[in-house]
Amino acid sequence: MIKQQKIKIKNAPEVLRIIPLGGLEEVGRNMTVFEYQNQILIVDLGLQFPDESMPGIDFIIPNIEYLTQHPEKKILGVIITHAHYDHIGAIPYLLDKLNYPTIYTAPLSKDIILKRQEDFSYLKKPHIEIINHSNQVTQLGPFSLETFHLNHNIPDTLGLALKTPVGTIFYTTDFKFDFHPIADKPADLSKIANLASHGVSLLMSDSTGAENPGHSISEKTIMENLDTIFAQAPGRIILATFSSLLSRLQQAIWLSEKYNRKVTIEGYSMKTNIKIAEHLGYLQIKKDTLVDWKTLSQSDPKRITILCTGAQGESEAALIKIVNREHKNLRIQKGDTVIFSSSIVPGNERAVQNLKDDLIKQGAKVYHYKMLDIHASGHGFQDDLKMMINLTKPKFFMPIHGHYSMLSAHADLAESVNIPRENIVIAQNGQIIELTSESIKATEKFVPTNYVMVDGLGVGDIGEIVLRDRQTLSRDGIFIIIALVDRKTGLLYNSPEIVSRGFVYMKESKELLQEVKKLTAEIISRCTKEQTFNEIYIRNTLRDEIGIYLFKKTQRRPMVLPVVMEV
């Protein structure tokens, strides 16, 4: 009898899948999926603002097809790291499609999310549970979550220590280290070190500032420079910044109180955020500091501060309405001091420059971050990022949040502080990353992450074809030909009507338009001789041949839109 030998089968290692649905190779649209055995944890549901190539688009949100097309996958919850729109902005558009999983976040983020949800009253109210910076542990299926306090330019920013079956993942979100913050506490370095002392398998860290050397500027420096401006300002001070930049708003309020100025707030989102932050105790405001316009109109200009939105030149923001004399209460006056306390978002350079020019023409003195340190990035620079790596001492490293050059620069930083290159993964949106206790691998598998564009009430109904049409219209305009065709003769019933918008000025292009009318008659006559009346055939022929003719004459390609009707 032959004795059978038992073959030992080695168990396959447990695998955690990490799938970024946004936030890589771009700034914004942050959303990351952590998946273990069909159980899913989501971090952030953010939006991205459109660039100049997307006319008419309000913003872009993540594509969640991977989640909605696989009902066997159970979503355990959504963790929101902080209350900026690139981390919370997609919640009203995606939460119902995800079947309303519980949101876990800090108090300030909770209130801002719920306040924004009031604009979407037809949706179910989200269920939100509070997590904080204490030693609270939140158990979500196979995931165990603890948080730690980080500095950003909004309070209640949560860093995540996520314990998984394959090891602990540190997820920094947007952060910097500020040892002298305003309206905030310094980052909790001791807790970060304590959580990391048990071993960190993977660090996923913010890369937005990875190309900038040194440390990011402290809010203490910003406060000192703003103090100098407040002390010297001869009249009203108008400070424009992001509505979510609560530390800057607190600085302006404190300095106004120091120099005996009354404060008014302009901008719906700014008013909302200040009210929420004050209620939660994140802003300190004396009883009589904030006043209405009736009180302000009777005050000495040297005793007035106006806080407003519009530092990016946004068309609907308060500052642009003031400059354009569209604001019902406020005009720029000689002696006004206007402070742009924000950096310029890429793509807004021209709008901001025009705004500054108009303010100066109207008699204002303008200060901006290139003249003086009156704005600090909320993102850590190279020394901050290296400090995070040294604090956590991860086995593996994955840069997140930023364009590819930023991710690459962050990877180089990690290698410079002794993270082996083979342990570093630079991923793309949609790429499936597989993490085990012994390895990390960027697979060749991808899930859909194409843009989902929001335009008014439409979500995802604007695709590449519509966007391309809008781009054509914005570049070369539209040329409409309205032709009535006699059903008996197959010829034009009367002279075609032509409408040009954004292509040529019709009163100055009469010769061109007459030639187009003549060519239209010839094309229709030819088409109806070849076959009986076929509206689609005539329309397509007109579009192609008139388009070629207009290009030869003008070297421009307007959208040619023929309208053909039989009478």
List the catalytic residues.
206, 379
Rounded CA-CA distance 340/366 in Å is 8
In 5-70, the DSSP E strands lie at 16-22, 31-36, 39-43, 59-61
**Number of neighbouring beta carbons within 10 Å of residue 85:** 20
Q: Which two tokens stand for residue 161?
A: 């220590």
Could you give the angle at the alpha carbon of 366 between the alpha carbons of 362 and 370, nearest 5°? 145
Rounded CA-CA distance 130/108 in Å is 10
> Taking a C-beta distance cutoff of 8 angstroms, is the pair 148, 188 a contact?
yes
For residue 516, count CB atoms less than 10 angstroms from its CB and return exposed for 0-12, middle for 13-18, buried for 19 or more: buried
Report the amino acid identity of residue 21: L
Q: DSSP characters for 172-193?
A: --S-B--SS-SSS----HHHHH
> Taking a C-beta distance cutoff of 8 angstroms, is the pair 369, 375 a contact?
yes
Q: Which helix (H) or strand (E) holds 550?
A: helix 535-554
Q: DSSP characters for 406-460?
A: HHHHHHHHHHHTT--GGGB----TTEEEEE-SS-EEEEEEE-----EEEETTEES
Choose among 539, 516, 543: nearest CA to 528: 539
Rounded CA-CA distance 229/244 in Å is 22
